[in-house]
Amino acid sequence: MQDKIKNINNIEELQALYTATFGKNGTMTARLKEMKNLDNEARASLNKENTMLRELFKNRQIELENQALMEGLAKQRLDASLNPEPENIGTLHPLTKSLSEISAVLESFGYKMWTGPEIEDDWHNFTALNTPDYHPARDMQDSFFLDNGNVMRTQTSAIQIRSMEKEGAPIKMFGVGATYRKEMDATHSPMFHQIEGLYIDKDITMSDLISDVKEFLKKFFEMDEVELRIRPSYFPFTEPSIEIDLKWQGGKWLEIMGAGMVHPNVLRNCNIDPDVYQGFAFGFGWDRLAMLKYGLNDIRQFYDGDIRWLRKTGF
Ligand code: DAH
């Protein structure tokens, strides 16, 4: 009997057995009715059995009720991994997606990511970059000036200066962020983004620059081979300065980035001795590289916040 109670697995069966035992016509009820005919010892034993069985029924009932409760709760539990509404999943902005790809490549080469303020002072945006007040190169960039003389950062080159001021040499970093200029058409937006690499150490040469840029473009654009064209150029903060073009589909040359060997004056401005350390810098349009890779043609759409465009181009 005891084993039978313990082995019952549902409440209805337990109830039925209880009735068959303790109900009006139950077996125990019948035995209790005959108790008066028993001797003292048998009486005591029957009483004990009666109490023990009731106890067993009660405990088994509690167990089964708890079990049923837990099963009910488990069924009701919200399964967060089930059936998400596909329409409501967000997408990555092309800039976010491209930054994760760009930084993965640069970080694998040992460059460390830096950011800096978008409102810059004259020193970091121009003067330390070898572009003093009277310098004609200031006109290369149509800047937004603030009343207090600060400027909306026109180039991420300002982050180079901050990184060298803080860490000195050797240094291998890339600066990432928004930049601002007064220009606006399908390929120019007053706010756009740049990424800038810098590598300063002993014995760094132009060929290190070209090989890093080449490997970077190969990995980012997922091309087996890349063909570059190097043209002489001018930037106040590099000497010599170059412009790097990439051979694109259909044999078309695309202007991809500006670069050069960091000007000794720039190193001196950051308390680095140019007789000991030298190196290179390169800078490119982050939006522009994303547009090329993903086949997008209007930079203004990056900033319209049009959810339909993002759904179409997003990742
Ligand atoms: N700052 C330049 C621009 O905005 C781009 C650039 C050119 C960055 C050459 C560099 C560099 O670091 O070496 O047009």
Closest residue to atom 4 of ligand 1, CA basis:
155
Weakest mean pLDDT among 42-56, 82-96, 135-149, 294-308:
82-96
Token code pair at residue 146: 């603030």
Most confident of 31-35, 75-79, 258-262: 258-262
User: 225 alpha carbon to ligand 1 midpoint, in Å?
Assistant: 25
Q: Is the pLDDT of residue 264 over 80?
A: yes
The pLDDT value given to residue 39: 92
Q: Which CATH number fits domain 94-312: 3.40.50.1370, 3.40.50.300, 3.30.930.10, 3.40.30.10?
A: 3.30.930.10
Is the beta carbon of 280 within 6 A of some atom in ligand 1?
no
Q: Is the pTM of this model over 0.85?
A: no
Q: With a 6 A CB cut-off, is 175 part of the ligand 1 pocket? A: no
- Ligand 1: distance of its center to the CA of 143 in Å? 15
- The model's pLDDT over 36-60, given as tens digits with 9 standing for 90+, comes to 899 999 999 999 999 999 999 999 9
The CA distance from 229 to 311, in Å, is 36
Q: How far is the CA of 56 from the centre of ligand 1 (A)?
A: 85
243: left (phi over 0), alpha (psi -120 to 50) or beta: beta
88 pLDDT above the threshold of 90: no
Rounded Cα–Cα distance for residues 216 and 223 (Å): 10
Q: Which atom of ligand 1 is the closest one to the Cα of 237?
A: 13
Q: Reply yes or no on whether the pLDDT at 2 is more than 80.
A: yes
- In 3D space, the residue among 170, 163, 173 whose CA is nearest the CA of residue 203 turns out to be 170
Give the Å distance between the CA of 35 and the centre of ligand 1: 106
Q: Per-residue pLDDT tens for 205-233?
A: 999 999 999 999 999 999 999 999 999 99
Q: Which atom of ligand 1 is nearest to the CA of 179?
A: 4
Question: Could you report the per-residue pLDDT of 164-182, keeping only the tens digit for each?
Answer: 999 999 999 999 999 999 9
User: 């044999």: which residue's tokens?
Assistant: 251
Residue of 259, 286, 257, 262 whose CA lies nearest to 273: 262
**What average pLDDT is seen over the chain?**
92
State the pLDDT confidence band at 116, using cuts at 50, 70 and 90.
very high
High-pLDDT (> 90) share of the chain, %: 76
For residue 19, give both structure tokens. 């009735």
The two three-digit tokens of residue 206, written as one number: 């132009």
Q: Do 174 and 216 contact (CB within 8 A), yes or no?
A: no
Domain positions in the chain: 2-75, 94-312
The residue whose CA is least distant from atom 6 of ligand 1 is 283
Say if residue 80's pLDDT is above 90: no
